[in-house]
Structure 1
Amino acid sequence: MTSEAAGGPVGRQEFTAGTAGASLREACAAAGVDASGAELLRLGSNAVYRLPSAPVIVRIARDVDAAEDMQRAVAVARWLASQDFPATRILPRIEQPLTAAGRVVTFWESAQEREEYATVAELADLLKRLHWLDEPETLHLSYFDPVGKLWSSLRAMRGVAPEDAAFLEQRVVRLAKEYERLDFVLPFGMIHGDANVGNVLRHRDGQAILIDLDGFTLAPREWDLILTAIYYDRFGWHTRTEYEGFVHHYGFDVMNWPGYSVLADVRELMMVLWMGQQVADSAKSAAEFGRRVETLRTDGSRKEWSPF
């Protein structure tokens, strides 16, 4: 990493409210936006702030190498706007993305003054509409490589016990082989990449909109259905009625597909490996990581997992 911050390379700097706040203030100053009174909405893959001085959301990427992903997110947002697709809109008149205190920052129009999630049925409607669109080559979307993502996430873990890392590596090896044998039935094309009800907000005009556009990629469409399925089937975060509504609105039940269990295992492992990257920075994340790994070891209930 070439960017530096007080205390060492920014790539090794903890991603906390304090370090994210430094990026926020520097980015807002560069963009000519008032950062006073900023409210931290969440701290995960991104730090997300709402600015009370204007209807603006600021997203700061945890990954210091996220410039390419954020550039794609900005391009996707502008293209979706040109298609009149219900999605978060990039804030105009600001050159984006920009880098502040070593982290990549983007500015978005706020959906409304408070965070209100839409329904899983509305998520299904948005995905069905999204999957009908033909993406332009100018977006330069990459092909999703889930096996490569598993390996890179495994290597990115820090502070994980050697026996846990070895166990997870064995699971990656097994699932990589099983994934390569999958026979997908839905068309290959553009997907959101992290499609779940947490990425569908209610706009102030009442419409449901997609947010978090940096995961757009090209892949079998089953990938955009798997999270809602496991949130219902494995984690109990959705009710049966909610999931049935999702299936009815989209028109396909991924749980009836023979490859469901393998895809669910792969997606679930991605969630565990992502948590493993936070172990060194957060006692809460470390505890959750330990809970998830033990569940995988014993094939226990996932209903004790906490959403992050």
Structure 2
Amino acid sequence: MPPDHDSSNQPLSPDTAGTVLREVCRRTGMSAPDARLMRIGDNAVYRVGPVVVRIARSAALLPAARREVAVARWLRTRDFPAAVPLDLDQPMMVLGRVVTCWEAVEVTAPATTGQLATLLRRFHELTAPPELDLPALNPFARVDHWLASAPLDEQDLDYLRGRVHQARTDWADLDFVLPTGVVHGDANTGNAVVDGAGRPLLLDLEYAATGPREWDLLQTALFADRFGWHTEAEYRAFSDAYGYDIRRWPGYQRLADIREVLMTCWLSARADDEWAAGELRKRLRALRTGADRHDWSRR
């Protein structure tokens, strides 16, 4: 593939991401042979020595990458424990992909639910400066893109579009009770780790926005209640550490329904993967029939 080739119209795969990574290494002086692919989701994530390189699935994610880097740099000025971007002119556009580079963290463990709650409580106490220009939280910002790229038949697509339409209506009708302010946007224990010094760190800030704090508290409750991904004790540690139990809020079940639909739409865009296709069929069946969600899984 020539060095000026735009790969953004091709699926993000180890091959296409690897080509982008080699060009990133050429531009920055990093050593490509030292690279190790960690995972591919919305981003292909590589460890290159002391650096983590994130290559976005779509060029449309450039504004989110700019926001993520800006938020991380702001948090550093507040001595908040979060991912640290390299001191480069970034994000970069490389072969049509959005790329960001971060200081690698020596992860000793995933954060506990209590540690996540403590991070969120501190994060929610911050006031974002006007120059950060955080957008209003819009949980549906990417859903049309997900569905447009989903390899589904029209019946399944029509069903999901209908559920999204209902979710938008429900979102507009919710009466939030916690103060509006800065939110992480995708707060779960998968986006927080404990580093080598024993410090919990908040990661993946690309969804940062201003909005109702309930959105950041939802996933831990949902993961415990409906999926069994957390125990009741783990959820109690979360709500005790944060100081609020979202399950007692009257809008909780409707907000949980919204999140389930969005989780399913996100997965639908990845249904060309064998695991994702099987998981998607399971989720669609549960949404249609009201079946138990405890067999939902995450890779």
TM-score (structure 2 length as normaliser): 0.94
Shift of 1:284: 2.0
Residue pair 1:124, 1:246 contacting (<8 A) in 2 also: yes
Which residue of 2 is the match for residue 105 of structure 1?
A: 99
Task: Quote the Cα distance in structure 1 between the aligned partners of 2:50 and 2:258.
Answer: 38
Question: Partner letter of residue 145 of structure 1?
Answer: N
Structure-to-structure mapping, 1:14-93, within 5 angstroms: 14-51=11-48, 54-92=49-87
CA RMSD of aligned residues (A): 1.8
Number of equivalences? 298
Question: For 2:59, what is the secondary structure of its paired residue?
Answer: coil
Give the counterpart letter for 2:112 in structure 1.
T
1:87–1:210: 8 Å Cα contact kept in structure 2? Answer: yes
- Aligned equivalent of 1:260, options 229, 234, 252: 252
**5+ residue gaps, structure 1:** none
> How far apart are 1:237 and its partner, in Å?
0.6
Deviation at 1:62, TM superposition (A): 1.1
**What is the identity, as a one-letter code, of the residue corresponding to 1:43?**
I
Pairing 1:141-290 to 2, within 5 Å after superposition: 141-154=134-147, 156-279=148-271, 281-290=272-281
Go from structure 1 to structure 2 and tell me whether the alpha carbon gap of 1:148 and 1:202 turns closer, same or farther (over 3 Å shift): closer
Contact kept? 2:108, 2:196, Cα under 8 Å: no
Cα distance in 1 between the residues matched to 2:54 and 2:140: 27
Name the % identity.
Answer: 43
Q: What SS does the corresponding residue of 2:102 show, helix, strand or coil?
A: strand
Partner of 1:65, secondary structure, is: helix
Distance 1:49-1:9 versus aligned 2 partners, 3 A rule: closer
1:235-282 superposed Cα distances (whole Å, 9 cap, x missing partner)? 111011100000000001111110001111111111100111112x32
- Following TM superposition, the consecutive aligned residue runs of length 4 or more in structure 1 with deviations greater than 3 angstroms are 8-12, 147-154
Paired with 2:162 and 2:8, the residues of 1 have a C-alpha distance of 28
**Residue range with higher mean Cα deviation, 25-34 or 168-177:** 168-177
Counterpart Cα distance in 2 of 1:269 and 1:150? 10
Match of 2:288 in 1: 297
Corresponding residue SS for 2:291: coil
1:136 to 126, 129, 134: 129
Q: Distance in 1 between matches of 2:247 and 2:144?
A: 26
SS in 1 for 2:84: coil
TM-score normalised by structure 1 residue count: 0.92
Say whether the 8 Å CA contact 1:151–1:172 is kept in structure 2: no
Q: Give how far 1:152 is off.
A: 4.5
Cα distance change of structure 1 residues 18 and 115 upon mapping to structure 2, 3 Å threshold: farther
Structure 1 residues 194 and 254: alpha-carbon distance in aligned structure 2, compared to 1, 3 A threshold: same
